[in-house]
Chain A
Amino acid sequence: MLWSELRDLKDDIDYGTPPRAGPDVTLTVDGQAVTVPHGSSVMFAAAQARRNIPKLCATDTLEAWGSCRLCLVEIEGRSGFPASCTTIVSDGMAVRTQSEKLQQLRKGVLELYLSDFPAEDIEGGWSEFHDALAQCGVTSHPYEPTETHLNSPVDVSNPYFLFDPAKCIVCNRCVRACEEIQGTFALTVQGRGFDSKVAAGQDEPFFESECVSCGACVQTCPTQALVEKSLFEGEYSRG
């Protein structure tokens, strides 16, 4: 079937990358044998084996992107720490999802994200980002206050959702959802490095852009930078 990426989705599981159709491939994840269709990612195989690899930029409704660097794994016979979302399975592959080195790398990545995330919202949040923090046991970061996005203005122009750049990790999920799922192409990431930011249309407020408010970006945002206004009592305020 050509559409397994749509039809095989499960409500309570995020495989991290879209399900594929294809001949069986068998590999091991943390010593456990798992069989998945050809073309699946290592992350997908790990999810099938109930070995959930922490992730931020990956979700099974979107093609893999490989930007957050949280889902790194070790693969026997290969050097380095490949991202499991963009690595395709092969027969006999032996994957390790947990090690001291991996834990250290993931912690480093999350601490960097946290250094530019509103400190008062670390506790009490329930986004995928908060899940990843909990999964990796990260609650704080060691960095001195420096240049951050914490004072970027919140876009509250859309009646139904807002965009708070302070919580954005520029994972591109919103941009990809607008393209791959909705097909409107209203969002982009503009600028480079520290200056890169999610922008609607020609860097307009969401409401004035060609955004059709389908909600796909809000749905997929892992940090609740894009979030329904209905989840807040009164005006949205930081801190």
Chain B
Amino acid sequence: MANPIKPDKQVVTTCAYCGVGCGFKAETHQGRIVRMIPWKEGKANHGHSCIKGRFAYDYYVSDDRVTTPLIRKSIDDPWTPVSWETAIQHAASELRRVQAKYGAKSVGAVSSSRCTNEEIFLVQKLARAVMGNNNIDNCARICHSPTQFGLSATVGWGAASQHFDSIMQADVIMVVGANPTEGHPVFGSLMKRRLRQGAKLIVIDPRRTETVQSPHIRADVHLNLRPGTNVAVLDSIAHVVVREKLYNEAFVRERCEFDEFERWAAFVASDRYSPDVVGPEAGLDPDLIRKAARLYASGPNSAIYYGLGVTEHSQGSTGVMCLGNLSLACGMLGREGVGVNPLRGQGNVQGGSCLGSWPHVFSGYRFVTDDEVRSSFEQDWGVALDPEPGLRLPNMFDAAIAGNFRGMYIMGEDPVQSDPNQSHIIEAMRQMECVVIQDLFLNETSKYAHVFLPGSSSLEKDGSFTSAERRVNRVRKVVEPLAGYQDWEIVVMLMNAMGYPAKYAHAGEILDEIARLSPAYKGISFELLDRIGSAQWPCDENAPTGTEVLHREKFPRANGRGTFMLTEYVPTAERTNDKFPLLLTTGRILTQYNVGTQTRRTENNRWHSEDVLEISEHDARTRGIRDGDRVKVSSRFGSTELKAKYSERVGSGIVYTTFHHAETRINVVTSDLSDWATNCPEYKVTAVEVTKVAAEGAQKRAKSKTREEAVTA
């Protein structure tokens, strides 16, 4: 019969991939997931989906899922499978031993934006209440920490001002350093829907992405700037807005600090930021900068959406401030159809950001140095807490090499693959005496670990994710955890084994604790989410079902007013020269997700089985490189090999690749520069040279191809 199997059960849950946070109905047949159906009542997706959420879920039953805890004495030993009890006891006693030997601050924890809110909150509690220090960080460090910093400084909160549907009211859409149709496809489709209805589109991106031109869509202005010149170009747009008096004076007077506006206006109005000066510097026609400025300012509703192309720069935080400044000056905040919105890469980057997974702040971005805030946590948790901010992730690695950091608990992260300057991190990892990894699969980082705790996928646990639109969505257990425990249960076991009595009957009780200790989440509970589907924070007695649009009446700053930051353009120290004449920038592709832990274990590999280097035909030919040749990409930091592909998406002088495959090792090449304010690495600009590799490389490639085929077969 050609009639399909009829699923016997449906569970509504939230997609684990990007920050859009699509609702899905996971359908099972005899206990196995047979299909993911987009949920029509999902507030972000309205019944739509992309290839990742809809089809790429089989990673959860991948053959290489680890289902038994593993331990070993030294990283050179093979792993020994052990019971849960043995593994947890071993991890706890080793971490305590390290602390006894090197001090309370010699250990730390890292969580991931793939974890649920409940897990993220528990892991920071593990660091603060159990380890007794503030050495806690999360992977938003390497993507959107500048968002937190730059938006807080201008509009007060480091989060999207809108809900996704707001774009259906926008007249002008400005996309900066983001490629929604690949990175956030369901939002990309919504955006295209609005563009087909006639909204205008400005794209600021070095690459001619699909967002720039696709069927029935063409950007009205595409500023294909040289990588690293964001701040200059955004300041130049502001220059035009100020010089041509296109700003919204009534809004600025009523809602912003006017003195600061005047100071800022004088700053951007200087000739230094004239399009005639910035244009040649950024490789742009000055008139296009003017056109973009006029279009954005004219609205009437103009909305900004931006991605890692803004944040992952040495001036990442400054770039975000530029966007905050611009939207305030033009009055594009506080109603539907406008706003400044970061497109977050991972399902729970917003949750990772707002739930205290930072060395200096508790949930809700409240400082650990603040006695009043700290004492509220001390009361709830029943322990004294360290008033001194802890180490950021890159500083943990630096401290390991310096000699006073020796133990780590890492949940759902693979810093050896995803963080910049790989050789430095490996050197740091080798110094550690106890590294505990909790993950689904052995990965690059677990090569340097001593305990491996097999985690659960988001299909196997309860909790919540906070999407890029600040929406708290419920994650529900669809199937039983393969290794026996939900991730939050494992953290609780570790906390108990380390001597801290934590007890939760279910994940909802952790969310209740979050609500108790975090003002923006005050009204959020499993009960509310089950009843109304989802809620955008802030959610409290004033907004019992959450808040779709921020800043309607005032900004969440002490005086309620938005303010302007001076955003001087400081070119990155990473520059081209005779030896490294090309600029490498990085990005994502639709079918793969981040370092590929999940998608590479699915049929999605059929579309993208390796990362390739996009290069303009001109640059390739002058180097004797043919389409499809194996090439070596070298920078001041390192080199790697991959396949070259002629592309019209990049202009001369720029090369581009994705970072989904570990074999590419592109992070060996990327620079160790980072955002001045937050340490977010500068993944988007590295000076490189590209050379053709000889036959030896070709053989290597044939070999790795065979292995890939074996994996997909």
**Residues of A bordering B, CB below 8 Å:** 2-3, 6-7, 9-11, 61, 118, 120-121, 124-126, 159-161, 164, 167, 180-185, 207, 212-216, 219, 224, 227-228, 230-233, 236-239
Contact = CB atoms under 8 A, between A and B. Distances in A.
B214 A183 contact: yes
Given A11-B40, A164-B2, 15 more contacts: A3-B165, A6-B165, A7-B165, A11-B41, A61-B46, A120-B2, A213-B51, A213-B607, A215-B50, A219-B37, A219-B49, A228-B4, A228-B35, A231-B4, A239-B1
Given A61-B40, A159-B606, A219-B37, A212 B51 contact: yes
Contacts of A184: 214-215
5 contacts: A160-B55, A160-B603, A183-B188, A227-B4, A239-B1
A231 B1 CA distance: 12
Nearest to A213: B51
Contact of A181 (B5, B41, B48, B590): B48
Contacts of A126: 3-4, 6
B47 A219 contact: yes
Interface string B599-621: 00001001100000000000000
B208 interface: no
Nearest to A220: B47
Nearest to A210: B215
B193 interface: yes
B46 A7 contact: yes
Given A61-B47, A125-B3, A215-B55, A181 B40 contact: no
Contacts of A227: 4
Interface in B21-72: 25, 34-35, 37-41, 43, 46-51, 54-55
**Top 6 A-B pairs ranked by shortest CB distance?**
A231-B4, A159-B603, A183-B192, A215-B54, A185-B215, A213-B51
A181 B189 contact: yes
B215 A10 contact: no
Interface in B140-189: 165, 168-169, 185, 188-189
Nearest to A238: B2
The DSSP consensus for interface residues of chain A is loop
Give the residue among A180, A182, A213, A224 with the most B Cβ atoms within 10 A.
A213
A231 B48 contact: no
Nearest to A124: B3
A237 B2 contact: yes
A182 B189 contact: yes
Contacts, number: 118
A214 to B, nearest CB: 5
Given A9-B40, A214-B54, A231 B49 contact: no
Contacts of B693: none
Nearest to A126: B6
B196 interface: yes
Contact of B216 (A121, A185, A207): A185
B217 interface: yes
Contacts of B188: 183
Contacts of A2: 168-169
Contacts of A215: 38, 49-51, 54-55
A125 B6 CA distance: 9
Nearest to B602: A159
A3 B336 CA distance: 12
Given A183-B193, A214-B54, A118 B2 contact: yes
A215 B48 CA distance: 8
Contact of B49 (A10, A11, A161, A214): A214
Given A160-B603, A182-B189, A185-B215, A121 B40 contact: no
Interface string B10-26: 00000000000000010
A162 B193 CA distance: 27
Contacts of B55: 159-161, 213, 215, 228
Nearest to B45: A6
A228 B3 CA distance: 11
B288 to A, nearest CB: 25
Given A160-B603, A180-B193, A212-B185, A9 B2 contact: no
Contacts of B47: 9, 61, 181, 219
A214 B216 contact: no
Contacts of A212: 50-51, 185, 590
Give the residue among A2, A9, A207, A230 with the most B Cβ atoms within 10 A.
A230
Contacts of A161: 55
B561 to A, nearest CB: 30
B39 A11 contact: yes
A6 to B, nearest CB: 4
A215 to B, nearest CB: 4
A182 B192 CA distance: 8
Contacts of A160: 51, 54-55, 603
Give the residue among B37, B49, B196 with the most A Cβ atoms within 10 A.
B49
Contact of B3 (A10, A121, A213): A121
Nearest to B39: A11
Nearest to B590: A212
A120 B168 contact: no
Contacts of A213: 51, 54-55, 591, 607
A236 B606 contact: no
Contacts of B1: 120-121, 124, 239
A10 B40 contact: yes
A236 B4 CA distance: 9
B35 A230 contact: yes
Contacts of A125: 3
Contacts of A237: 2
Contacts of A232: 2, 4-5
A214 B606 contact: no
B479 to A, nearest CB: 14
Nearest to B533: A11
B606 A6 contact: no
A204 to B, nearest CB: 15
B576 to A, nearest CB: 34
Contact of A214 (B3, B7, B48, B214): B48
Contacts of B49: 214-216, 219
A157 B170 CA distance: 39
Interface string B214-229: 1111000000000000
A161 B5 CA distance: 14
A11 B25 CA distance: 10
Contacts of B216: 183, 185
Given A11-B41, A185-B215, A6 B168 contact: yes
A159 B57 CA distance: 13
Nearest to B38: A219
Contacts of B214: 183-184
A230 B34 contact: yes
Given A120-B1, A219-B37, A183 B46 contact: no
Contact of B5 (A9, A61, A207, A231): A231
Nearest to A183: B192
Interface in B282-341: none
Nearest to B4: A231
B193 A231 contact: no
A2 to B, nearest CB: 6
A182 to B, nearest CB: 5
B41 A182 contact: no
A238 B2 CA distance: 5
Give the residue among B40, B196, B603 with the most A Cβ atoms within 10 A.
B40
A236 B2 contact: yes
Contacts of B37: 219
Contacts of B591: 213
Contacts of A185: 215-216
A137 B38 CA distance: 30
Interface string B571-592: 0000000000000000000110
Given A3-B168, A9-B47, A160-B603, A239 B2 contact: yes
Interface in B236-288: none
A120 B217 CA distance: 44
Nearest to B49: A215
Contacts of A9: 40-41, 46-47
